[in-house]
């Protein structure tokens, strides 16, 4: 199974996923990124923290950026 790394980025700051996680596909990694984004947004809202500029970057085992899950896109998807 391929290993994906889900890095959290907030503007210029980032929290690196050093270990990564094995997922059966990019689709499964994206689903986990969306789930994580929702959990982070809920916690941020509880504490009155802003959500703008946050995103999760999905990288492959070589460190190559494959996809970006932006929090505002996840919010838009919930509202649709």
Mean pLDDT of the region 22-34: 96
Considering the entire predicted model, what is its pTM?
0.86
Is residue 44 scored above 80 in pLDDT? Answer: yes
Q: What is the pLDDT of residue 76?
A: 66
Which residue from 77, 63, 67, 61 is spatially nearest to 33, judged by alpha carbons? 67
Range of the domain at 28: 3-79
pLDDT in tens, 52-72: 778 999 999 999 999 999 988
| HEC letters along 15-70 | ECCCCCEECCCHHHHHHHHHHHHHHHHHHHHHCCCCCCCEEEEEECCCCCEEEEEE
Is residue 78 scored above 60 in pLDDT? Answer: no
Is residue 79 scored above 60 in pLDDT? Answer: no
CA distance 51 to 40: 9
Token readout for 46 is: 């509880």
Q: How many domains does the chain have?
A: 1
């Amino acid at each position: 199974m391929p290993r994906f790394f889900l890095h959290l980025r907030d503007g210029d700051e980032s929290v690196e996923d050093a270990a990564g996680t094995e997922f059966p596909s990019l689709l499964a990694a994206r689903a986990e990124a969306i789930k994580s984004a929702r959990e982070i947004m809920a916690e941020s809202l509880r504490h009155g923290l802003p959500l703008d500029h946050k995103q999760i970057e999905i990288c492959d085992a070589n460190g190559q950026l494959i996809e970006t899950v932006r929090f505002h896109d996840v919010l838009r998807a919930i509202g649709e």
